[in-house]
Amino acid sequence: MLVPRTGTIEGKVEQLRELESKTDPALLADFQYRLEVSWIHHDGALEGVVYDPRELQAAIDNQGLTSDRALQATYDEIRNFKLAIALIREMGEKKRRKITLDAIKKIYLTLAPEEAEVKGPIKYRKEMPLHRVYFHEISSPDKIGYKMRQLVDWISSDETKRMVHPIRMAAKAHSSLLHIFPFPKHSGRVARLMMNFMLMRDGYPPAIVHSTERQRYYEALKTSDDAVAAVVRDALTNSVDSALRYFKKIHGIPDKTPE
């Protein structure tokens, strides 16, 4: 739960929510659209995928199909990510919604709907990938199930909720999931979406790690939870400051936020 104090990120979020409540719904929808385009672009870049702006907009706006298989696959990937954002927004609106293995798997299935067509429970990663975007240490396949249960138990424990700040909890949960690397694909995206679900559930906007922070982000994952938490807090602060500038401009309020 947010505890607003002037000058803190919680205080800024309270100010942002107040401005949003006074904003015309059409302008608010336009902001959310722009935010999601940016979110999909930057998250793709973290995965080493740079979406062409025209392809990104066409996919998000559902502008038909294409006979180009590679392009259609790109469109599907973008649309699935947009659906995953909608999913965690819906989940985040339920303040008491818990992180469970089923919730994490639901995020994964939204990104990889073809997996839902396979009979039986979702299967975790069975191999140690030799070529991957991420180069930090990841769990061996035989330990994934146990570590996933351990992670969910840590997130859900009363001690964690009492002792760990929500931003740090979300950052650590994301880092832990990435070190487990449970799925054969999309583990990075699942981890960041889970993190943002946790942030939104606790009243914060999503923390979108900018593509220019890609190297710092990767290095943080190899370094420590503290380093990852710093990247996430900076991303969240930048998101809040950017949104405040946008809404202050709409409402004709002088912006004193440092660039």
Q: 233 pLDDT exceeds 80?
A: yes
**In the chain, % of residues over pLDDT 70:** 92
> Is 80 exceeded by the pLDDT of residue 78?
yes
Q: Hey, what domains does the chain have and what are their CATH numbers?
A: 9-250 (1.10.3290.10)
- If one counts every other C-beta atom within 10 angstroms of the C-beta of residue 155, the result is 21
DSSP state of 188: H
Interatomic CA distance for residues 44 and 37, integer angstroms: 11
What pLDDT does residue 173 have?
A: 97
Q: At residue 4, does pLDDT exceed 80?
A: no
Confidence of residue 94 (pLDDT cuts 50, 70, 90): confident
Query: Residue 27: what pLDDT?
Result: 95
Q: Could you tell me the pTM of the whole model?
A: 0.91
The pLDDT, as a whole number, for residue 121 is: 78
Name the amino acid, one letter, at 161. K
So what's the pLDDT on residue 43?
A: 97
pLDDT of res. 131: 61
**Beta strand residue intervals within the chain, DSSP E:** none
pLDDT of 115: 86
Structure tokens at 98: 């818990």
- C-alpha 180/C-alpha 202 separation (Å) is 24
Q: How far apart are CA 125 and CA 181, in angstroms?
A: 8
With vertex at residue 187, the alpha carbon angle to CA 181 and CA 191, rounded to the nearest 5 degrees, is 100
- Distances 256 to 19, 149, 238, 259 between C-alpha atoms, Å: 15, 45, 14, 9
Residue 117 Cα to chain centre, angstroms: 25
CB of 51 closer than 8 Å to CB of 44? yes
Task: Give the integer Cα–Cα distance in Å for 59 and 68.
Answer: 13
Find the mean pLDDT for residues 128-156. 88
Question: How many residues does the structure list for the chain?
Answer: 259
Look up residue 142 and give its DSSP letter.
G
Q: Which long-range contacts (CB under 8 A, 24 or more apart) does 13-20 make?
A: 13/203, 13/204, 13/205, 13/240, 15/244, 16/205, 16/240, 16/243, 16/244, 16/247, 19/244, 19/247, 19/248, 19/250, 19/251, 19/253, 20/247
Residue 90 is predicted with a pLDDT of 92
| CB-CB contact of 259 with 32 (8 Å) | no
- Predicted pLDDT at 116: 78
